[in-house]
Amino acid sequence: MKKFKKYAASKAGRDTLLSFGIVIAGYIYLQVMVATGNISSLLESLLVPICAYVIMAVSLNLTVGILGELSLGHAGFMSVGAFAGVVTTTCLAEAIPSAPLRLAVAILVGGICAAVAGVIVGVPVLRLKGDYLAIVTLAFGEIIKNIINVLYIGLDSTGLHFSLLEQRFELAEGGEMIINGPMGVSGVSRLSTLTTGFVLVLITLFLILNLINSRAGRAIMSVRDNKIAADSIGISTTRYKLMAFVISAAFAGMAGTLYGMNYTTITAAKFDFNTSILILVFVVLGGLGNIWGSIIAASLLTILPEVLREVGEYRMLIYAILLIVMMLFNNSPLKARLLEKRGMKQMSKLEKNGKEGA
């Protein structure tokens, strides 16, 4: 118990407990609401996207907050995961009849595909730093989107067929197109549920928080804080940069699969620059390097525009104004004072506890 208290008082411990606490409490609350029928269908339809966006925000936070490199192409990895996941579930429809198992396999495949894309993008990109890196990730995000835009994949009794630019294959009787170029996929059976989303969020949190608090995580942070110092003590900066980038991409891919399997139709155009920026906004609003902040920001900003449907035409205007207000607050002396006050309180509490312990 004492050990736990001490853990909870440390910064890393507090962040971890807070992150898990928010997610688990949210899940239990929502499950009760769903079970008792107290939830609007609007909110219910948002739950899986929220889970996906939370994972996206948390994984991007690893790149932007922990590694300290601005990535503007995160939605690209999401789309790789989404489309890989759709292809996987369609191919395995007969081999694995159990829907949750099939989804789990798809999520895994989505993550692996996105990780591969992450390596391909990361190796050239991570030679750069700062603004240059940001612009290049932006370009890569667009490239991924445009490749999927001209990708044709079909499935028939003889197996999978691929082509680029135009459909150059004929499908046998009973075959179906999975990815149809710019028209994306349609007619997907929706497999994602709140519970799968919740489990995936927990796994993401567990792995990413553990990574951050591990030796590798500290190495990654040292690259962020002072690359020259990190180099001088023998940390391979390239290796740790790539590691953070690829792990971040892999989780984005998993989130993509979860997201894609929640809709009957998706197109590559959905995963454009705007989506990348939206996720960056989640991260910045939640605070760079602050995992539980990302969770709250992602949930809040996904629900907000939908709740604002009440006000009609001025919805997006008010959304933008609220966003400005939140950003201002996040950066205001008011918040700093509040935090200071809380810190003081905790300090005195700790002092008291310490005295009692002694």
Partner 1 sequence: MKKSLSMLLVGSMLVTALAGCGGNTDTQGAGDGQDNTDAAATAFLIGGTAPLTGEAAIYGNAVKNGAELAAEEINAEGGDIQIKVIFEDDEHNTEKAVSAYNALKDEGIQLSLGAVTSKPGEAIAPLHEEDHIFALTPSASSPANIEGNDVVFQMCFSDPNQGMASAEYIADQQLGTKIGVIYKSDDVYSTGILEQFKAEAESKGLEIVTEQAFTTETQNDFSVQLNACKSAGADLLFLPIYYTPASLILTQANAMGYTPKFFGVDGMDGILTVENFDTTLAEGVMLLTPFNADATDEKTVNFVTKYKEKYGETPNQFAADAYDCIYAYKQALEEAECTPDMSASDLCDKMIETFPTITFEGLTGDGAGITWDSNGAVSKSPKGMIIENGAYVGM
Q: Which of residues 253-272 bind partner 1 (CB under 8 A)?
A: 263-267, 269-270, 272
CB of 344: closest distance to partner 1 in angstroms? Answer: 21
From CA 167, how far away is CA 172, in angstroms rounded?
14
Q: Which of residues 201-240 bind partner 1 (CB under 8 A)?
A: none
List, in sequence order, every residue forming a beta bridge with 163; answer none if it has no partner: 152
46 binds partner 1 (CB under 8 A): yes
The 129-158 contact track toward partner 1, x by CB under 8 A, reads --------------------x---------
12 binds partner 1 (CB under 8 A): no
CB of 26: closest distance to partner 1 in angstroms? Answer: 19
Is residue 127 within 8 Å of residue 227, measured between CB atoms?
Answer: no
From CA 226, how far away is CA 64, in angstroms rounded?
15
- Which of 124, 130, 159, 182 touches partner 1 (CB under 8 A)? 182
By beta-carbon proximity to partner 1, the closer residue of 50 and 126 is 50
Q: Which residues contact 176 (CB under 8 A, 6 or more apart)?
A: 90, 154, 155, 156, 187
Q: Residue 161 has which token pair? A: 């067929």
333 binds partner 1 (CB under 8 A): yes
Q: Which residues contact 49 (CB under 8 A, 6 or more apart)?
A: 259, 262, 302
330 binds partner 1 (CB under 8 A): no
By beta-carbon proximity to partner 1, the closer residue of 115 and 155 is 155
Of 25-33, 39-47, 151-159, 196-204: span binding partner 1 (CB under 8 A): 39-47
CB of 304: closest distance to partner 1 in angstroms? Answer: 12
- Which of 232, 313, 355, 356 touches partner 1 (CB under 8 A)? 313
List, in sequence order, every residue forming a beta bridge with 154; answer none if it has no partner: 161, 177
CB of 25: closest distance to partner 1 in angstroms? Answer: 24
- Which of 225, 314, 339, 347 touches partner 1 (CB under 8 A)? 314
186 binds partner 1 (CB under 8 A): yes
- Which of 9, 32, 44, 352 touches partner 1 (CB under 8 A)? 44
Q: How far apart are the first and last CA of the chain?
A: 16
309 binds partner 1 (CB under 8 A): yes
List, in sequence order, every residue forming a beta bridge with 284; answer none if it has no partner: none
332 binds partner 1 (CB under 8 A): yes
CA dihedral sign, ordered 324, 55, 276, 283:
positive
By beta-carbon proximity to partner 1, the closer residue of 268 and 291 is 268
Q: Residue 214 has which token pair? A: 């591990």
10 Å Cβ neighbour count for 280? 21
99 binds partner 1 (CB under 8 A): no
Is residue 77 within 8 Å of residue 253, measured between CB atoms?
Answer: yes
DSSP states along 299-351:
HHHHHHHHHGGGGGGGHHHHHHHHHHHHHHHHTSHHHHHHHHHHHHHHHHHHH
Query: Chain centroid to CA 248: how far?
Result: 8
Strands 151-156 and 159-164: antiparallel
What residues make contact with partner 1 under the rule CB under 8 A? 40-42, 44-46, 49, 149, 181-183, 186-187, 190, 263-267, 269-270, 272, 306, 309-318, 321-322, 324-325, 328-329, 331-334
